[in-house]
Amino acid sequence: MFNVRILGAFFLALSIANCADIDLENRELDAASFIRELNNELDKKKTIETEASWAYASNITDYNEKVKTEVSAENAKFFKEKAKELREYAYENFKDEDLRRQFKKLSKLGYAALPDEEYRQLLGAISKMESNFAKVKVCDYNNRTKCDLSLEPEIEEVISKSQDPEELKYYWVEFYNKAGTPCRPDFDKYVELNGKAAKLNNYTSGAEAWLDEYDDDSFEQQLENIFDQIRPLYEQLHAYVRFRLRQKYGDDIVSEKGPIPMHLLGNMWAQTWEEIASLIVPYPDKKLFDVTPEMVKQNYTPIKMFQMGDDFFQSLNMTKLPQDFWDKSILEKPTDGRDLICHASAWDFFVTDDVRIKQCTRVTMEQFFVVHHELGHIQYYLQYQHQPSVYREGANPGFHEAVGDVLSLSVSTPKHLKKIGLLNEYNLEKETRINQLFLKGLSKIIFLPFAFTLDKYRWAIFRGEIKPEDYNCAFWKLREQYSGIEPPVVRTEDDFDAPAKYHISADVEYLRYLVSYIVQFQFYKAACIKAGQYEKGNPELPLDDCDIYQSPEAGNGFKAMLALGSSKPWPDAMEVFTGERKMSGAALLEYFEPLREWLEEENKKNNVHIGWEPSDKCLKKEEEKPRNPNSDCFVLFEVGILTGKMAMKEMTFAFVVFFVLFELSASQLYLENEAKKLMNLINRDYAAVLKKKANADWLAEVSGEPETIEGALQAEDEYNSFILKASSFLKKYSNLRFADKDLERQIKRFPKPTYESLPDADYEAITEASNSMASIFSNVKLCSFRQPEVCNLTLIPDIQDILHNSNDIEEIKHYWIKWRTATGQRNQEMFQKFVDLYKKAASANNFEKPSDMWFKDFDDNNILDEVEVLIESIQPLFLQFHAHVRYLLQQKYGPELIKSDRPYPLHLSEILLGEVYRFQEDGFVELPYPYKQIPNVTEELIRQEYTPERIFDASRDFFESIGLPRLPDSFWKQNAKAIADVNSNILTCFSRAWQTHNDQEVSYSYCPEVDFRRYLGMHGSMSHIYYYKYMQSQPPVFRGEPLPNFEDVFSQPIELSIQSTKHLEKVGLLSKGSIDKETRINKLYLKGMETVFLLPVLFILDKYRVQILNGDIQSWDNCKYWKLTEKYIGAIPAVERTNDDFDAPAKLLTAVDAEYCSNILAIFMQYQVFKSLCERVGEYVPGDSSKPLDNCDLSGHTEIGEILRQAMAMGSSRHWREVLRALTGHATIDPSGFLDYFKPLMDWLVKDNTEKNLNLGWEETTTCLNNSPSQYAGNNLYK
């Protein structure tokens, strides 16, 4: 009976078990069906979300941002709901390993596992830390009143470029204090809730939750083993860098055996050190290669760069880029004006073959490497696109970046660049190879311990191994232990420095970056072995010059690994390709083996200590902390005067007494020495400010990117702040007379603040007034005369084109009136505000009169009188020209409108003169000899296939021929760049030299258009290259023009020479005899129309504004403006004007506060210099018709070079009259050069006007009703 019962129980149990197995099998089948459907649904959801993200990233609008946010929120809700559904399955018991893996990956809730309130608290804590990091602002080291410096770009720029330890220390302390310490309460809450979320997800701590992504219980130990492997190499590199920094900064700052003070390493977090490479590179004379010029020479385009990348992958037997890639990617910055995120990125849209890249690609070597890196991501997408949605990702978070970097390692080798024809005749010398490996090591090797400590620190906190009372010192202990660095000042537990790294504030795990830096070398080594390109110990096949291009074997190995996506644990994926299941530093060490050998030898030779002694830079008790050397408590007097924190280390009571007594009884000699010390300091800092501003302006010019334009604006603000601060210190010495006249002039020439001296409210108001007037002018839209309902006409080109083709006087008058109404009357109130505040600014800057501030850069307060004398000197020529133009207008419009003895109507004369500036063969201008066509040099330039580079070479030939050293062949490739967003208008697109304030380097931007004006302009701008180079030997305060627009005094004589018939014939742009007497008069006629009529216009605009500023006339007195116009120009308004009108702004083509007298002086001086040089070399002989001034060619006269060099080298160290004397032998401006140049034209005008019996001059005419303002406001027909 007992046995029967046992047997019955056995069969019952067996039956139940079988039923359970069947139930489990059924549930597993149901789960498999569910997961298939979910994967399909996930693909669709991810496609929609990626499309929304792409739309926003490629066209940043509020609408696209709204859609992106909504889709993301909707998907987040969906994923959370599905994760909860997945958790209802007991998937841990599934027999199907792959099904268990999918369920596990998709059922992770992460922080969403928290109750709603705690979830919001956690996100709020992270958000506050992120926000704190983003909003950090610090005060300027040199101007503590300027407190708007952000990490990017201002602080990072200083940290990466400055070599002043005190400045670097200041910014380090300020940033860490503000980016880290305030986060402590939020960080505590974050740690607490991170732990709760981990436990709700069945992890023991947040550390295990992060590490679980790597599918390997030994992962953490693998990392420790790797650091044991690479530590000897790291220590050798660390020791060498410390040694070189000690040479630079001395033992007081960098110890012989201790950790390196991290503020000296070119990066706020010392995570990579390549920014200081120029200080410590092993062989500074061996330059690294750059194939950018060769790419440009071979007409590379962004499309070609991607085609080359596609060819690279196809050569590996990998997948050809699908058509969708070419159809849908953004490979160049769009030109339709949209805003977009230009940072290069690869995108997977979770649809077969829909992969894209968004990259504002530029044709540079660095961008060429980036292209291949991003295409590495694309290949990964294509290889695993057959996988279910859950597996369409890298095998672990570090694999994707590693794959991209492998391709960059191969493509960047000299071997590959040679193979594809971008690096010809290049031999990889030992020294160059060491430099390349060293530079890579400062990034790849240095980064590893930094990345490890960032997560190791957080793991220990999550696990409770680091207690809250030790958070800060534990962080620095890890940084010291693994990286051998220390903070520049003592830190305590009252500080909290880890969140000063964004990824800690933002809760971003850092392990992915660390993994990618390690495994990329394992991947690279495996690929190189498969390609037969690497053989350990074989110097002919080193790992650092391996190119896997055209190796299907390497590609097939890659494909096998990539195709797995994340369907297998990463060790399985790695084993498929490399044969290894563990991460290892061995491949990295093999790559850097030549560098290790060199470092060991070099360090041994220099007896350098290897490793580092413990740091004492973190204390647990605040009372043990030394006083902060950046504190304003240390207010002492030495060379730190500009920083607001004078920096003397020790100060005895006796010295204090001595200092005070000495200051109170300072002698003239003491003041001079004091001023000299201050000026030296200012020049040092001024050089840095100028360099930064120049670089920012240059980048904005050649890039045109919004961020570079914003950078230029920020640099301008920093410059103005520096000028304001420095000038306030110099004010004490401004009226003193010193024995050292050079010092006296430096103080005098240092830029003076203008509006910056106003109170903040007034400064903003005058800036707003000026900007408002400028914007009204530039944004004016007028209604059409013939179609009044059309009201979107701009001055250029719409109205200009209409007037060019119109003979309708009423139509011309319509636009003339409407333009002045729009640009003048709307500006009256703003102009009055500007005048009032300008007077206030002049007073604040201690100018006797506002006009003294207006002409502050002239070294001459009576300059307006001198300019008026010059204008009067050319009046005989102007009167002849005026009579001729009046005659032309009379022939066109009739004697009723154009009186032969009266001023001509301005609106009609402006049409004629405007046609000269836009002269075309079919133009309105009637030349003196209309049957004599002026040869078209532009057509000849195009016919001879001139390019900007060829024009530049022609310019180099010219300057070499006049005795100046030829610019090197490398200048064009290294220093010249085309202007971004080119407008073909000659007024906005021209060549320009850029003073970099960096030794004798000069940058150069050019317009890619080719025509005769730009041909001339490139020759002229090359003179500025020499100008900037030669003045660089001066102190920074003298590295500029002695007078605004003085650089034209050098460039314009060159252009006058270049456009001479003799020169154009010499260089083959004109055929012999193509310019006869009549054609010559035609040429002079056009040039005279451009110049002679411009001078009095510029003069009255300055005279009118200066009289208003000085209070000689009222700002509302429009009639005074017309009196000046009639007196100096011989023109009257189109209709009667009153003081209710305001017409001067219609002529202000630049800012309301831009003076024009310097332009006038420069024009006269350029002809004076041209005449002097031409006489000196015998090209011009007064009275000799065979050697007229307008046909002087200076090329080939080598003696000119030394004259120019000596004058250029003066910079602004001498008064502009002294520089003029160096050029011409005379210190006063002589108009005879101008008059001699145009003498043939003057003779023709006199003859022609006499034959036509034309009157010279004009009778006074009343055309402006001199009323009080607003007297006729109610019925003013112009309103």
- The DSSP symbol for 1257 reads S
List Cβ neighbours of 413 (8 Å cut-off, separation of 6 or more): 544, 545, 546, 547
Strand, helix or coil at 909? helix
Written as one string, the DSSP assignment of 1054-1104 is HHHHHTSHHHHHHTTSS-TT-S-HHHHHHHHHHHHHHHHTHHHHHHHHHHH
What are the residues facing 1002 on neighbouring strands?
A: 995
Residue 431 appears among annotated catalytic residues: no
Cβ atoms < 10 Å from Cβ of 636: 16
Cβ atoms < 10 Å from Cβ of 539: 7
Determine the straight-line distance between the first and last CA of the chain, rounded to whole angstroms: 122
Question: Is 512 annotated as belonging to a binding site?
Answer: yes
What is the C-alpha separation between 840 and 843, in angstroms, rounded? Answer: 5
Cβ atoms < 10 Å from Cβ of 679: 23
What is the C-alpha separation between 292 and 1139, in angstroms, rounded? Answer: 60
Residue 503 appears among annotated catalytic residues: yes
Helix boundaries (H) for 704-827: 706-730, 741-749, 760-779, 800-804, 809-823
Question: Out of 263, 416, 503, 997, which one is annotated catalytic?
Answer: 503
Pairing mode of beta strands 618-619, 1264-1265: unpaired
Question: Out of 167, 174, 374, 1155, which one is annotated catalytic?
Answer: 374
In angstroms, how far is CA 104 from the centroid of its own chain? 47
List Cβ neighbours of 442 (8 Å cut-off, separation of 6 or more): 237, 241, 272, 273, 274, 276, 277
Is 80 exposed, middle or buried (CB count within 10 Å of its CB: 0-12, 13-18, 19+)? middle
| Strand (E) or helix (H) holding 992 | strand 992-998
How many Cα atoms occupy the beta-carbon half-sphere of 1035 within 13 Å?
A: 19
Owner of token pair 């110099």: 730
What is the C-alpha separation between 45 and 37, in angstroms, rounded? Answer: 12
Helix axes 1199-1209, 1012-1031, angle to 10 degrees: 60
CA distances, 897 to each of 807, 903, 906, 1135, 1169 (Å):
14, 11, 12, 12, 42
Structure tokens at 660: 């005070």
What is the C-alpha separation between 328 and 348, in angstroms, rounded? Answer: 12
Name which of 95, 173, 99, 167 is nearest 136 in CA terms.
Answer: 173
Q: Using omega within 30 degrees of 0 as the cis cutoff, is the peptide bond preceding 1036 cis? A: no
Question: Is 910 annotated as belonging to a binding site?
Answer: no
What is the C-alpha separation between 703 and 409, in angstroms, rounded? Answer: 27
What is the C-alpha separation between 913 and 1089, in angstroms, rounded? Answer: 7
| Strand (E) or helix (H) holding 691 | helix 668-703
Question: Is 238 annotated as belonging to a binding site?
Answer: no
Written as one string, the DSSP assignment of 103-138 is HHHHS--GGGGS-HHHHHHHHHHHHHHHHHHHT--B
Question: Is 214 annotated as belonging to a binding site?
Answer: yes
Owner of token pair 């703003």: 830
What is the C-alpha separation between 952 and 939, in angstroms, rounded? Answer: 18
Name which of 735, 708, 119, 649 is nearest 360 in CA terms.
Answer: 708
Strand, helix or coil at 963? coil
- The DSSP symbol for 687 reads H
Cβ atoms < 10 Å from Cβ of 1217: 15
What is the C-alpha separation between 895 and 886, in angstroms, rounded? Answer: 10
| Residues with catalytic function | 374, 503
Annotated binding site for chloride: 214, 512
Binding site, by residue number, is 214, 373, 377, 401, 512
Binding-site members for Zn(2+) are 373, 377, 401
